[in-house]
A = this chain, B = another copy of it.
Amino acid sequence: MSTKTLVNINGKVVTPELATVSVFDRGFLYGDSVYEVTMTKNGIPFMMEAHLDRLESSASKIGLPLPFNRDEITNQVINTVKELGSTKCYVRIVCTRGEGEITLDPTADQVGNFILITKELPEYPRHWYEKGVWMVISDVVRNHQRSTDPSVKSGNYLNNVLAMGEAKRAGAFDAIMLNHQGMVSEGTTSNIWMVKDETFITPPLDAGLLGGITRQSLLDMGKNNGLKMLEENISPEQIKAADEVFLTSTTKEIVPIVKIDDQIIGNAQPGVNTRKLHVMYQELMENHYKSEKSRLNI
């Protein structure tokens, strides 16, 4: 590992070299696990309640019992990043259905594993935000909701790995994935937005995507501040003809997209509405950290 890293396995904190799971763990054998990624600043977890809600939702949708409850998970995060001691930390929470006999049967007797990966979160390159990034539209279609539901953040991410691989081989930043109707679903680990005539538009949940925490924060924040926010299906043609395009994710926040495939977006620069939204969002983040510091007594 090139950055400072600590791993918490079922409550025990170890260095990365000692951080292992059994090859009989269903997370390893079948991707039979759920996970969340958040971050901490000065030891304070970001949007912990929303991430726990989503972890519980993912687990419930695939009938996976979580090995720790909400308070225990929050405390493990707080204590592990304290031990890591970095100002900003990446936090990955993985819960598996556990180990047992080799069988696909999820009702078999097994005890879940809890794995928490924390590492120093370096600043992302300034040019992502100042110059924007280039995305491709992937040929790999996002998993269908009736097959491997994208609203479940699970250990089955090969679909996204293949789309990301396509983007990287093309030299792009990342990929936009379409659903089986040919409409925009999401990025490989982000939500996708466009701005058209001062209106912010992102695909609805039933486009088959993971409901991003940042996505929901922006929808709420925008509406509370009199911005026009819409959840509507977006075609590849529509997104390429947008005034501005951006992606959102917990750790990356808001990244402007200035090119999709061969199509330049707007004036090839991060848009004014995108920048305005990011400034508002960073203020929201600061206020959130302040209230969480007090709520969690950190």
CA distance A294 to B140 in the complex (A): 44
Does any Cβ of B come within 8 Å of A227's Cβ?
A: no
Within 8 A of B (CB), among A161-195: 161-162, 164-165, 168-169, 180, 188-189
* CB <8 Å contact, A19 and B9: no
Q: In the complex, identify which listed stretch (A150-158, A199-207, A211-219, A272-280) lies at the interface while the others stay far away.
A: A150-158
Within 8 A of B (CB), among A1-45: 1-2, 7, 9, 16, 19-32
* CB <8 Å contact, A168 and B107: yes
Given contacts A102-B117, A117-B23, contact A156 B164 (CB under 8 A): no
* CB <8 Å contact, A2 and B101: yes
CA distance A69 to B20 in the complex (A): 26
* CB <8 Å contact, A22 and B23: no
Does any Cβ of B come within 8 Å of A85's Cβ?
A: no
Query: Which of A9, A22, A161, A188 has its CB near the most chain B CB atoms (within 10 A)?
Result: A161
**In the complex, which residue of chain B has the Cβ closest to the Cβ of A145?**
B141
Cβ proximity bits A118-155 to B, threshold 8 Å, 1 near / 0 not: 01000000000000000000011111101110000011
Picked from B21, B62, B144, the residue with its CB within 8 Å of the CB of A28 is B21
Q: Indicate how many identical chains form the complex.
A: 2
Within 8 A of B (CB), among A87-112: 90, 92, 94, 101-102, 104-107
Nearest Cβ on chain B to A61's Cβ, whole angstroms:
9
Residues of B within 8 A of A30 (CB): 31, 155-158, 160-161
* CB <8 Å contact, B155 and A29: yes
CA distance A63 to B156 in the complex (A): 17
Residues of B within 8 A of A189 (CB): 104
Interface size, A (range): 35 or more
CA distance A19 to B24 in the complex (A): 8
Picked from B32, B94, B159, B165, the residue with its CB within 8 Å of the CB of A161 is B32
Picked from B21, B102, B158, B169, the residue with its CB within 8 Å of the CB of A32 is B158
Q: A31-B156, A104-B188, A104-B189 are in contact. List 19 more A-B contacts (CB 8 A).
A: A1-B24, A7-B23, A23-B115, A25-B28, A28-B155, A29-B155, A30-B155, A30-B157, A30-B158, A30-B160, A30-B161, A62-B158, A102-B117, A106-B161, A140-B146, A143-B144, A144-B147, A148-B158, A180-B180
Task: Give A residues with C-beta under 8 Å from B.
Answer: 1-2, 7, 9, 16, 19-32, 62-63, 90, 92, 94, 101-102, 104-107, 115, 117, 119, 139-144, 146-148, 154-162, 164-165, 168-169, 180, 188-189
6 interchain residue pairs of minimum CB distance: A31-B31, A20-B20, A30-B157, A156-B156, A104-B164, A141-B146
